[in-house]
Structure 1
Amino acid sequence: MKIRDILPDDTSIPNATDTQLLAAAQEACEQMAGGADSTMVSVIDGEQKDGAGYYQDSARIGAVAKQTICP
């Protein structure tokens, strides 16, 4: 599964490079290792929460990271 494939069409990071997405996923792993739930991580500077209180792009990155690269 690739991070880019699960980002919404209206992503706040449409031009993020693979290197940047991998760094965001690694940051998500660090936050989750510290106790954050994958739906509550924040790994994109300036990202705004959606109406439900989630950082949509960050949460998707966190979910993929949890399944693929986090220890």
Structure 2
Amino acid sequence: MDGMYDYMGQISTQMTGMYNYMGQMTTQMSTLQVTVNEMRNVFRSFSGRYIHVTVTSDYHNASNTNEKKCG
């Protein structure tokens, strides 16, 4: 009987460890979600200003390299 109680104690300890691990994972997930939301907000605030500039400069660079290749 003592051995069975020890075994039950081990199982409950493992279960507690698993719950702690799950708690850590959920904490990480929530912080990750916050980070994603922050990045999304930052991107949204910057995108309106910078996407036009980036697209036009990329297109400009591409046309310049094409001209150099042809020349």
TM-score range, shorter chain: under 0.3
TM-score of the two chains, using structure 2 as the length reference: 0.27
TM-score of the two chains, using structure 1 as the length reference: 0.27
